[in-house]
């Protein structure tokens, strides 16, 4: 298959009747109470009009038929997800435009490959992004590799599968990420290792803009796909039973799919999320151990079909320079992982959702340096206070906020949607998506250089870590009570 050069995003004159009759509400990240969102500029304090006003939600439980996945009527709380409120009928548009996940800006070409160990749910599953040799013959990797991920997203977003799968296939079915699939690993130096944890309802491929940029700057990035039932969909491979007929050329393995688990009626959310974040942290540590095992030259069996040479990674990881990074629920996973594993020398939490973090962590603290990079529109006072409980009076813990950004400024969906769709589905903020992700990535690189002791030039972005520069502020835009931690 020839890799596509981008996604052609056309707004059809009218969706089929089955689509136009279905109103969809969904979320890809917890939406704070509107009253808790503090605009950065006085001009933004005016009352929104039109669709923006219609999307403004009241404080407290919603009576909407859309999914709330366990908000349980608690004021000011939503569960992380792809937050969408839209009638599935759109006007006509004569404009065509190509949208594409941005390439890495660093000096290295980037390859990626998938790794799964063991034919059981307890194994590891990750996508590895890495500095690669130039690979003109290799195709770019598919962004969403299986239709079952569309089905999982539909379940997570409370959409009929037959409707949602058709929409996802139409709009993003041919999207690729700018990393060459199974390209040869670039030897010759030791690279720092970054383990990445995805958000609720996401999966391993959805943060490729972040992971590819880090790999282009000289990191090996292991993007974990979590099996705690917080991903929209994931799978493990198991051996086919003897009774199952299969063609001679077919694999003896089959995929066993695991879909997102919604809260049961009356179930308390924090208990479930805390249990999940513990499993997630363990999966991050397991991924770390797996990469270090490969680095030491031990043979690892990949149950997925791949022609990538895993032996080429031997002695390629700088084992003294390891960090962990994640978005939303993945931000909570970063904190949990730091508290459990000292080999993670520092962590970066992108718009972290703090509900899953256990009380014991606030009591014992996190010793390693930690950077919180927040969006302007997502955070609320209760969440920020929890961050400050971990970071007060510690100069190695920083917090910045990107002006005009939203919770979806970090995953890839912001890049593959047009302006109208992106704003309508809240996949885009007021800031250009490329500028927002550049601020986040550059602040991350500067932070990693300082706390991993890298000999790079990322310190030219040190001011961003202090919240100094265009479209970034130090700390938070949220007004806190005088008694809140500083």
Q: How confident is the model at residue 419 (pLDDT cuts 50, 70, 90)?
A: confident
| Mean pLDDT across 347-370 | 96
> What b-and-e string marks burial along 377-411, b requiring 16 or more CB atoms within 10 Å of the CB?
bbbbbbbbbbbbbbbeeeeebbbbbbbbbbbbbbb
| H-assigned helices in 359-485 | 359-364, 381-391, 419-424, 433-452, 462-465
Burial class (CB in 10 A: 0-12, 13-18, 19+), 53: exposed
**Where is average pLDDT lowest: 62-71, 135-144, 186-195, 286-295?**
62-71
How does pLDDT run across 319-350, given as a tens digit for each residue?
A: 999 999 999 999 999 999 999 999 999 999 99
Q: State the pLDDT at residue 483.
A: 78
How does pLDDT run across 186-195, given as a tens digit for each residue?
A: 999 999 999 9
% the chain with pLDDT above 70: 78
Number of C-beta neighbours around residue 298 at 10 A = 11
75: left (phi over 0), alpha (psi -120 to 50) or beta: beta
407 is catalytic: yes
Choosing from 328, 409, 417, 444, the catalytic residue is 328
How does pLDDT run across 150-174, given as a tens digit for each residue?
A: 999 999 999 999 999 998 999 899 9
Q: State the pLDDT at residue 260.
A: 97
> For residue 246, is pLDDT > 80?
no
Contact 131, 216 (CB under 8 A): yes
Nearest to 28 by CA among 260, 328, 289: 328
How much is the pTM? 0.82
Question: Element (H or E) spanning 222, and its range?
Answer: strand 220-224
Angle between the N-to-C axes of helices 269-295 and 329-340, in degrees from 0 to 180, rounded to the nearest 10 = 60
| Mean pLDDT across 456-473 | 98
Q: How confident is the model at residue 480 (pLDDT cuts 50, 70, 90)?
A: very high
Q: State the pLDDT at residue 197.
A: 98
Q: State the pLDDT at residue 98.
A: 55
Residue with the larger pLDDT of the pair 78 and 63: 78
Q: CA torsion sign, 41 to 45 to 50 to 53?
A: positive
> For residue 245, is pLDDT > 50?
yes
> For residue 53, is pLDDT > 50?
no
Choosing from 77, 327, 407, 451, the catalytic residue is 407
Strand-pair category, 191-197 with 220-224: parallel
Measured distance CA(328)–CA(130) in Å, rounded: 24
Residue 397 is given by DSSP the state: E
351 is catalytic: yes
Mean pLDDT for all residues in the chain: 83
Q: State the pLDDT at residue 481.
A: 86
> For residue 318, is pLDDT > 80?
yes
Q: How confident is the model at residue 80 (pLDDT cuts 50, 70, 90)?
A: very low
> For residue 219, is pLDDT > 60?
yes
Q: State the pLDDT at residue 243.
A: 60
Residue 146 is given by DSSP the state: -
Residue with the larger pLDDT of the pair 26 and 277: 277
Q: State the pLDDT at residue 120.
A: 84
Measured distance CA(324)–CA(349) in Å, rounded: 9
| Mean pLDDT across 60-79 | 35
Q: In the chain, helix, strand, coil percent, each to 5?
A: 30, 20, 50
Q: How confident is the model at residue 354 (pLDDT cuts 50, 70, 90)?
A: very high
3 state DSSP class of 435? helix
Contact 334, 368 (CB under 8 A): no
How does pLDDT run across 89-103, given as a tens digit for each residue?
A: 233 333 334 579 999
How does pLDDT run across 4-26, given as a tens digit for each residue?
A: 333 333 333 344 433 333 333 33
Choosing from 69, 351, 412, 438, the catalytic residue is 351
> For residue 299, is pLDDT > 80?
yes
Residues 6+ apart with CB under 8 A from 347: 323, 324, 325, 334, 335, 337, 338, 366, 368, 369, 370, 371
> For residue 371, is pLDDT > 50?
yes
How does pLDDT run across 388-413, given as a tens digit for each residue?
A: 999 878 999 999 999 999 999 999 99
Radius of gyration of the chain (CA): 22
């Amino acid at each position: 298959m020839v890799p596509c050069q981008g996604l052609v995003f056309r707004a059809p004159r009218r969706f089929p009747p089955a689509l136009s009759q279905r109103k969809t509400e969904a979320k890809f990240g917890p939406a704070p109470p509107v009253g808790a969102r503090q605009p950065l500029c006085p001009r933004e304090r005016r009352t929104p009009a039109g669709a923006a006003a219609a999307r403004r939600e009241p404080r407290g439980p919603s009576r909407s038929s859309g999914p709330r996945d366990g908000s349980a009527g608690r004021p000011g709380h939503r569960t992380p997800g792809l937050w969408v409120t839209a009638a599935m009928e759109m006007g006509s548009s004569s404009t065509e435009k190509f949208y594409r996940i941005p390439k890495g800006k660093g000096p290295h070409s980037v390859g990626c490959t998938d790794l799964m160990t063991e034919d059981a749910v307890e194994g590891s599953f990750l996508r590895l992004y890495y500095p690669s040799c130039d690979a003109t013959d290799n195709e770019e990797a598919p962004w969403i590799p299986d239709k079952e991920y569309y089905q999982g997203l539909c379940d997570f977003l409370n959409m009929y599968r037959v409707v949602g799968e058709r929409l996802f296939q139409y709009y993003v079915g041919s999207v690729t990420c700018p990393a060459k699939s199974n390209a040869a690993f670039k030897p010759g130096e030791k690279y720092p290792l970054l383990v990445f944890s995805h958000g609720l309802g996401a999966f391993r491929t959805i943060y490729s803009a972040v992971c590819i940029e880090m790999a282009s700057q000289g990191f090996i990035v292991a993007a974990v796909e979590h099996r705690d039932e917080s991903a929209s969909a994931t799978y493990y491979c198991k051996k086919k039973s003897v009774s199952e007929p299969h063609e001679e050329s077919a694999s003896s393995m089959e995929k066993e799919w695991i879909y997102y688990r919604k809260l049961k009626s009356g179930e308390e959310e924090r208990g479930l999320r805390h249990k999940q974040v513990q499993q997630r942290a363990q999966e991050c540590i397991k991924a770390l151990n797996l990469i270090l095992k490969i680095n030491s030259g031990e043979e690892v069996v990949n149950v997925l079909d791949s022609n990538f040479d895993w032996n080429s990674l031997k002695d390629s990881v700088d084992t003294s320079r390891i960090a962990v990074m994640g978005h939303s629920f993945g931000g909570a996973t970063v904190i949990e992982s730091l508290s459990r594993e000292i080999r993670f020398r520092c962590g970066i939490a992108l718009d972290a959702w703090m509900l899953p973090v256990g009380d014991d962590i606030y009591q014992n603290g996190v010793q390693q340096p930690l950077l919180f990079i927040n969006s302007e529109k997502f955070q609320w006072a209760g969440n920020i206070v929890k961050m400050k409980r971990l970071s007060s009076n510690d100069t190695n813990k920083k917090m910045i906020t990107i002006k005009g950004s939203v919770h979806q400024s970090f995953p890839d969906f912001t890049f593959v949607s047009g302006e109208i769709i992106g704003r309508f589905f809240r996949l885009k903020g007021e800031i250009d998506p490329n500028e927002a992700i550049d601020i986040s990535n550059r602040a991350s690189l500067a932070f990693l250089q300082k706390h991993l002791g890298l000999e790079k030039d990322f310190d030219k972005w040190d001011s961003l870590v202090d919240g100094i520069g265009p479209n970034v502020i130090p700390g938070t835009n949220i007004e806190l009570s005088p008694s809140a931690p500083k």
